[in-house]
Amino acid sequence: MSATTADTHVFDVREDNFEAEVLQASLTTPILVDFWATWCGPCKTLGPMLEKLAAEFNGAFRLAKVDVDKSQQLAAMFGIRSIPTVMLVKDGQIVDGFAGALPEGQLREFLTRHIQALADDAGPAEAEAPEAPEAAIHRIQQAIAAEPDNAELKLDLALALMRAGQADAAEAELAVLPANLATDGRAVRLRNQLDLARALQGAPSLGELQQRVQANAADWEARDLLGVRLLLEDDAAAGLEQFLAILERARDWNDGQAKKRLLAAFATLDDAELVGRYRRRMASLVF
């Protein structure tokens, strides 16, 4: 990536120019906002990958960099709890986002859900295939062998193990993280994912749970487990609907479990628009 290309597609933003350079500019070009800090280890991994992708997408989106130490009010306004946090703004609205340093393959997936890359003079950039979970585990384990004191890599390993379906191994890695990472947004998210995964130990299959709910709409246990299964099997909206149905008709069932499930689910999802929509629906039932 040339300096000219980087300057074209990547820029710094603060409170005084955020409205013009991000909100107004997003009416014509999507803006990816990267909340970061100089002391943040994962930011040093994520930032260069985002800049590389901004160049490859050739103006299909622009990358706005927000140093949270220099723009604390801006970070507070967006409720930034951990960094790096990335938000995609289109048409003046936040449409998606994620926290933590994702692998490059997942970053490409995130971007291509919303943005079509523009071809440059050399032709369109060739998209890389998403990294397989097993390959990610092997890569991170090799990195840990080279840097055994790098706790950030151990958190990365826990996340990769969870993506590979190895919940017990992920939990073991999570348990030995140092205190400063135990409260990292990615660790909190993983902990909620593990809690949800544990709920399915010994649970019936998806088809059986669907049959039980169809036969008895007030089978709250089946509806609850169906919601968890749908959530973990990448049908988040359908899973959240199950929890809302319980909250609406039996809010006190099992000590208010539906509300707890919703809050745990919100902590695991990257889709800011989806979470916002269901938070509002939950609030209308609770308050």
d(CA 259, CA 195): 14
CA distances from residue 122 to 8, 48, 131, 161 in whole angstroms, order as listed: 17, 21, 25, 38
Q: Which of 13, 43, 86, 228 is catalytic?
A: 43
Residue the block writes with tokens 């990257």:
270
Active site residue 135: no
Residue 247 tokens read as: 């909250």
Amino acid at 21: E
Strand order, beta sheet including 62-67: 10-12, 62-67, 31-36, 85-90, 93-99
Nearest to 125 by CA among 135, 134, 115: 115
Q: Which of 13, 25, 31, 40 is catalytic?
A: 40
Q: Count H helices, E strands: the chain?
A: 15, 5
Active site residue 40: yes
Nearest to 88 by CA among 267, 273, 265: 273
User: End-to-end distance of the chain based on CA atoms, in angstroms?
Assistant: 51
Q: Is 159 exposed, middle or buried (0-12, 13-18, 19+ CB in 10 A)?
A: buried
| Cα 92 to the center of its chain, rounded Å | 21
Active site residues: 40, 43
